[in-house]
Amino acid sequence: MDYEKEWEEIGKRENEIRENLVTNPLKFFISYSTEDSNKLAGLLREILMSFGFTVFLAHEDIPAGKHGGKEMLDNLMSCDIFVPILTEGFPKSKYCDQETGVALALKKKIIPMKVSVTPYGFVKDIEATKLNKGYVLNPPEGYAESEINIRKTNREYLMENVRELAEVLGGPPEYRDRTLNSLIDGVCNSSSYQDAGDKMEMIKRFDFFDGRQLNKLALGAIENSQVGDSYRAQNVLREIFSKNKNKIHELFIGSLKDSRLLE
């Protein structure tokens, strides 16, 4: 038997599988006032991206030399979810209300984040997610978050809001699959055991996985030790894999069994 050719063939098959596992995550557009919510908007973007979502944030994502207005319009047109961060500065901004109007005209899914301003105008009847009360919007210069709030950091408080967003989007059929795609991408890129466990807790709420989603999750568990070796993540993975064994590609079965993630 020519083992070199056999391994070469296996490598080709693995590459084909990887190409088929490329996902189409949900894209967020965050609208905010630079006057009072730069840090909040930046942290929200960072957390959403860690969960596998694609995010556009004007002052972070417009390349130097590009026309800002066109870039914002292009990204408004291509986004799935529009999140206006309603602070005192939002209605004073010369762009925020315009962005909201465009999102409404394009019939985008709008999820306002209420900080200090209640949804108004044409979005007044849209249910908002409320920024966690423990979040400190503008911490004093030179103070560590631990000195501001002993219980949790701003990041942990905002994580709770992101989980709420993911739960909302995981329900409607038009967003469900792409929300799950995003969360699976997030799990595969987990940076710690706790991170993987937290994300798998969100994924276990879903009761159906197609073959591509299942195999992307399997590959993530095999290749990222922060996922495969996370005690909390393992418990959820075993349950998902055992219920969907027939959808797992044969190339992954052996590795999952070796990792005790599949019987």
> Which residues does 263 contact at the CB level (< 8 Å), separation at least 6?
242, 257
| Rounded CA separation 251/18 (Å) | 12
What's the predicted TM-score (pTM) here? 0.86
Residue with more model confidence, 136 or 57: 57
| Section 95-117 average pLDDT | 95
What is the domain partition of the chain in residue ranges?
25-169, 180-263
Q: How far is CA 86 from the centre of its chain?
A: 21
For position 69, what pLDDT does the model report?
73
Q: 231-250: per-residue pLDDT in tens?
A: 999 999 999 999 999 999 88
Of 75, 23, 238, 39, the closest CA to residue 154 belongs to 39
- Position of tokens 């860690």? 50
For position 19, what pLDDT does the model report?
64
Supply the mean pLDDT for the chain: 86
CA angle 241–80–208, rounded 5-degree value: 20
CA angle 88–93–99, rounded 5-degree value: 110
For position 241, what pLDDT does the model report?
95
Q: 109-143: per-residue pLDDT in tens?
A: 999 999 999 999 999 999 999 998 888 887 766 65
Q: Are 146 and 136 in contact (CB under 8 A)?
A: no
Q: Does domain 25-169 have CATH number 3.40.50.10140?
A: yes
Q: 169-183: per-residue pLDDT in tens?
A: 998 999 999 999 999
